Amino acid sequence: SSDLQDTSSGTLRQGRCREYAVKNNIRVLDVYYDEAKSGTSTETRKRYRQLLADAFSQSRKFVGILVFSSSRWGRATDSEIDFLMLEVKGIRIVSATEAAFQQEGSHGELMRGILQKVNAFFSRQTGEYTHAMQTANCQEGFMNGGGPPDGYVAKPFSLGMKDARGEERFRYLLELNEKPGPYDTTSEPRWRWVRIAVDMHLKQGRSVKSIVRELYARGFRGLRKGTPLNPSNVRAAFRN
């Protein structure tokens, strides 16, 4: 399961798999589920990695793997390689929602390959759509997630609708932080240090280290107690 899906989606998928298992006389020994992890990569999916470790161990207790759909298995080259290695080990992967995935012989191999490539294509396409939407969201002054960049504050903006739990949905609008930082020794608003840094770099050609020294002299400090602004803070502000 991934990104902004409702938290019940994983439960629903597991329920569908269990229904399939009962109908097809499959005994379920364990559940491997990674919540809020994208299928486009396998490196951060701890339960997926544990599944592979168990599958390739000498003490393996199962003969097959039941998935909700082939897209839940993975949508990248590394997951395709894992799939083939499991088949070589004699472990059968079954999809609870794709009858074509279960075909035997060369036709089955072809259909599984096609489904995996289609899943990868739609994953990349969705990524392109998401990037375009997030870019437009930024251009309108809204956040895409995480905390606001240094020099800004996030103000909730109601969307006039509720989520699946009945809670009001918000977007967060970025506004300049007009207050000094919590540990600044100057009364200037927090956003000023970003503007000063950019001006010194673009108009005077100052280096990042030189800018950091100047900002310290003007009383700007880090956002955590006892920490100064450092070169990485300035570079992050330039990127933002």
Amino acid at site 35: E
Q: Are 190 and 215 in contact (CB under 8 A)?
A: no
Model pLDDT for residues 50-72, shown as the tens digit of each residue: 998 999 898 999 999 998 887 76
What is the model's pTM? 0.48
Q: Give the model's confidence band at 81: pLDDT under 50 very low, under 70 low, under 90 confident, else very high.
A: confident
Q: Are 180 and 148 in contact (CB under 8 A)?
A: no
Model pLDDT for residues 124-183, shown as the tens digit of each residue: 677 777 888 888 888 888 888 888 999 999 999 888 888 778 888 888 999 999 999 999
Model pLDDT for residues 1-42, shown as the tens digit of each residue: 454 445 557 788 889 999 999 999 999 999 998 875 554 556
